[in-house]
Structure 1
Amino acid sequence: MQIIEVTGYAVRSAVITMRRRGTPLEFVIFPMLHVASPAFYSQVRIRLRECDLVVVEGIRGKSVRVSALTLAYRFAPRRRRNGLQEQREELLLPEGVPVINPDVTAEEAIADLRTLPRWTYLLLMVAAPVMGLVFALRGPRAFLDEDLVVEDLPSTLRAELLADDPVGHAMTDRRDRRLLDALGEIHAERGGEPIRVAVVYGAGHVPEIVSGLGDRYGYRPCEAEWLTVLVPA
């Protein structure tokens, strides 16, 4: 299943609707990039207004180390000519729609990273701001480079996109389990209601979300809508 499409003229994200036979509840998966055009976030916000519940990503609490990792996508929007915006809840989430956040705490996230070899952990801390400067200088064109494309926080290094990469596992495994447990609780408690539950998580998490909802609870992808994330000048 293609989640993020990168072509020579645009980056697009597939909004995936998942349903289960005999259950009126449906999950709508929004694969997010933490840096995108303002129009992309506006389109997501419009669609979230049609949902009854939003499950949103976001490491809870503050940490200097977590802030260092997010530098990779916080630098690019600071150059106005790039025409990019950092994803922020106040611009994305509509008023009046309930929101839950089952993500890990900053302490848990760093604890998972510290299970990596020391040199790998240190490389992550050094590489994030360097990659951020590259994105800021290259602007939207950086997102068309296969070696630099950023889908989510865990994707600041190309190697982290590999399925068997220990860095990717350290950054996502606990978070994905926590999310799927939360979605399971929603299914158990509200599966008989005709509601739309939005899952707003980074694109790097989406393969596990889709497979987990299918394997655990029997939900299958039924529809997909492409949204344009950015169009480089």
Structure 2
Amino acid sequence: MQIIEVTGYAVRSAVITMRRTGTPLEFVIFPMLHVASPTFYSQVRIRLRECDLIVIEGIRGNSVGVSALTLAYRFTPRWRRNGLQEQREELLLPEAVQVINPDVTAAEAIADLKSLPRWMYLLLMIAAPVMGLVFALPGPRAFLDEDLVVEDLPSTLRAEMMADGPVEHAMTGRRDQRLLDALGEIHAERSDEPIRVAIVYGAGHVPAIMSGLWDRYGYRPREAEWLTVLIPT
């Protein structure tokens, strides 16, 4: 199932609702991009108001290494001509809805990355700020370049570094497991309640979320709504 759509006109994200036969609880997955138009974040916020619980991504605590990695998307919004914003909780979260964050700590995230061969770890630390400049200089049209993806690294570099899975596993493996365990607890405790549980995580995590909910708990994608992330000018 397509999660992020990139065309010559726009970048769109599919909000996916997953349900299980005989269970009133439903999970609504919001594939997020760390940089997007203000309209995208306002549209997500409107839909989150209709949910009863929000499960949100966000590495807890501070770390020099994590800050270096996030430079890739913190550079872009600083060029005001781009018309983009960095994803922030105050842009997304309605005050009245309960929020939980099952993500890893900064120390855990860096420990996972340091399990990689040293050259891979150092290359990640170097590539992130460089890619931030790559995205910032051309503005939103960078998202439509075939050699770039709406992530932190160019597709060619990602393909080379993630072909055998070590970088991808280091960056998302523990985080995805922690999230799916939390979703399992929600299913076990509240599956008989007619509630909507929002999952607000980066688009790169969504395939693991969908397969985990399907394989572990029997939830299937039943609806999808496209939201426009940005329209390059």
The TM tier, using the shorter chain, reads over 0.9
Aligned twin of 1:104: 104
Q: Are 2:133 and 1:136 equivalent residues in the alignment?
A: no
Aligned twin of 1:93: 93
**C-alpha separation between the residues in 1 aligned to 2:48 and 2:164?**
33
User: Map of 1:68-217 to 2, 5 A cutoff?
Assistant: 68-151=68-151, 155-158=152-155, 159-160=157-158, 164-217=164-217
Aligned twin of 1:55: 55
**C-alpha separation between the residues in 2 aligned to 1:63 and 1:12?**
31
Q: How has the CA–CA distance of structure 1 residues 47 and 163 changed in structure 2, closer, same or farther, with 3 Å as cutoff?
A: farther
**C-alpha separation between the residues in 2 aligned to 1:223 and 1:98?**
23
**C-alpha separation between the residues in 2 aligned to 1:150 and 1:166?**
20
Aligned twin of 2:18: 18
Q: Structure 2, unaligned stretches of length 5 or more?
A: none
SS in 1 for 2:167: helix
SS in 2 for 1:70: helix
Structure 1 stretch 77-86 or stretch 140-149: which is displaced more? 140-149
Structure 1 residue ranges, 4+ long, deviating more than 6 angstroms after superposition: none
Structure 1 stretch 139-148 or stretch 180-189: which is displaced more? 139-148
In angstroms, what is the RMSD of aligned CA positions?
1.1
SS in 2 for 1:194: coil
Q: CA deviation at 1:169?
A: 1.0
Q: CA deviation at 1:163?
A: 6.5
Equivalent residue pairs, number: 230
**C-alpha separation between the residues in 2 aligned to 1:182 and 1:226?**
26
**C-alpha separation between the residues in 2 aligned to 1:24 and 1:149?**
36
**C-alpha separation between the residues in 2 aligned to 1:122 and 1:222?**
42
**C-alpha separation between the residues in 2 aligned to 1:208 and 1:96?**
29
SS in 2 for 1:201: strand
Aligned twin of 1:41: 41
TM-score by length of 2: 0.96
